[in-house]
């Protein structure tokens, strides 16, 4: 988002911590504090806060099924991934020259920023149905945010159902922007089919977590492979808990790969599978459509199911039997795979090109609801000169 705003003439920088990833210690500074150039985006990194005892105490209560107090909820965010240095440094940017946007709600840095500067920082919450969404700290976050930007209609409806009566117009009148998803013409691409993989494979791209139903995916795929396709593989790319992928010839875990390698692997697969029921958008199924392959998603996830339904870009499944039949149909029908992916690409161009998505942000952030800048072409050239800058804040 920051990169694409910069390309369109809206100077944008990123404030973040020195943490490496959610799977490494949040209290360890992997990077040195300072100013970095990341894909031509000015990125300012700040040391993390090092106190973690109260956070560990809350996690212990969660694991034991204990009820959390309001203080416990506050400790979860205050002593999770956070940076008092970043919060303090942002003070000089809280003025009329900058629009400040923080994401996501799940990490403490976002809460600290929004509460430190109430009414000054807009929020991209990335909500889905999980315990933290229902905490009183989340309601307070919504009350203190300047604007709220949702990734999907389903995310907004979930929020209205839970908080609409108490928070009111701030939520109801908020904007569903979606997320910009494009494969830029300049992106490095690896040609040819990956030599080490079989002719037929499906792919999961993302974090390996129980919360993403990776364990269920492995169980269902094993049932499918035994009944229908012994030679078909399930390929995993991305980080997370490797132990969730059983040691079996049916699975190939490639771990982290380059962006070009990821696109190559997706392009030659039979489809992208995402059975997660906790999604606020799901970029990966969109990347599948851009690479020319359909998606298989969970019928129990309103966001991904409705993406697929709106554009007819794949199949949604509710159990192992439906999963097996869906994969068999996609394997056996190349024309169907191509048509579903083409439907998805048209949907993306209409709803989630960066020109479309970023124009929604700028219209909302403009004074009096009037756009300060809009975009109307696919090459990302600014149509008007911006009179403010943007700052994106993330853990």
Distance CA 352, CA 179 (A): 6
392 SS3 class: strand
| pLDDT tens digits for range 61-105 | 999 999 999 999 999 999 999 999 999 999 999 987 899 999 999
Whose tokens are 């920051």? That residue is 2
Q: pLDDT tier at 117 (50, 70, 90 boundaries)?
A: very high
Residue 145's nearest CA partner among 113, 176, 177, 173 is 113
| pLDDT tens digits for range 247-296 | 989 999 999 998 889 999 999 999 999 999 988 899 999 999 999 999 99
First to last CA, the chain: 15
Q: What is the pTM of this model?
A: 0.86
Structure tokens at 215: 């364990």
Distance CA 76, CA 136 (A): 12
pLDDT of residue 189: 66
pLDDT over threshold 70, residue 388: no
Q: pLDDT tier at 381 (50, 70, 90 boundaries)?
A: very low
Inter-axis angle of helices 259-267 and 283-290, nearest 10:
70
Instruction: Provide the 10 A C-beta neighbour count for residue 385.
Output: 9
The per-residue pLDDT of the chain, averaged, comes to 90
| pLDDT tens digits for range 213-224 | 999 999 999 999
| pLDDT tens digits for range 186-227 | 455 677 777 778 889 999 999 999 989 999 999 999 999 888
Whose tokens are 């034991």? That residue is 64
pLDDT over threshold 50, residue 124: yes
Residue 138 host element (H or E): helix 136-144
The phi and psi torsions of 246 (rounded to 5 degrees) equal: -60, 155
Residues 6+ apart with CB under 8 A from 40: 3, 6
pLDDT over threshold 80, residue 382: no
């Amino acid at each position: 988002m920051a990169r694409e705003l910069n390309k369109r003439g809206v100077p944008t920088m990123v404030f973040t911590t020195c943490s490496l990833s959610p799977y490494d210690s949040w209290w360890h500074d992997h990077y040195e504090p300072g100013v970095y150039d990341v894909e031509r985006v000015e990125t300012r990194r700040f040391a993390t806060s090092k106190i973690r005892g109260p956070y560990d105490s809350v996690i212990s209560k969660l694991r034991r099924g204990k009820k959390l107090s309001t203080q416990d909820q506050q400790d979860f965010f205050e002593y999770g991934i956070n940076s008092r240095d970043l919060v303090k440094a942002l003070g000089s940017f809280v003025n009329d020259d900058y629009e400040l946007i923080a994401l996501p709600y799940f990490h403490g840095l976002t809460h600290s920023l929004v509460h430190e500067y109430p009414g000054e920082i807009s929020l991209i919450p990335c909500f889905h149905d999980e315990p933290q969404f229902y905490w009183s700290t989340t309601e307070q976050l919504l009350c203190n945010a300047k604007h709220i930007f949702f990734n999907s209609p389903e995310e907004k409806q979930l929020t209205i159902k839970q908080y609409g009566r108490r928070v009111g117009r701030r939520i109801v009148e908020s904007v569903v922007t979606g997320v910009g998803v494009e494969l830029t013409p300049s992106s490095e691409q690896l040609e040819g089919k990956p030599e080490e993989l079989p002719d037929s494979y499906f792919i999961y791209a993302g974090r390996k977590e129980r919360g993403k139903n990776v364990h269920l995916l492995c169980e269902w795929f094993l049932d499918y492979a035994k009944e229908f396709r012994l030679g078909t593989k399930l390929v995993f790319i991305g980080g997370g808990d490797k132990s969730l992928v059983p040691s079996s010839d049916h699975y190939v875990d490639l771990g982290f790969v380059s962006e070009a390698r990821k696109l190559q692997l997706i392009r030659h697969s039979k489809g992208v599978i995402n059975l997660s029921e906790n999604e606020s958008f799901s970029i990966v199924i969109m990347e599948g459509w851009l690479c020319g392959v359909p998606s298989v998603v969970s019928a129990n996830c309103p966001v991904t199911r409705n993406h697929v339904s709106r554009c007819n870009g794949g199949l949604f499944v509710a159990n192992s039997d439906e999963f097996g039949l869906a994969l068999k149909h996609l394997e056996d029908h190349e024309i169907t795979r191509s048509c579903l992916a083409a439907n998805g690409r048209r949907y993306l161009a209409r709803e989630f090109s960066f020109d479309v998505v970023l124009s929604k942000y700028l219209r909302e952030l403009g004074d009096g609801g009037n756009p300060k800048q809009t975009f109307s072409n696919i090459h990302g050239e600014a149509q008007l000169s911006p009179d403010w800058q943007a700052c994106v804040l993330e853990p």
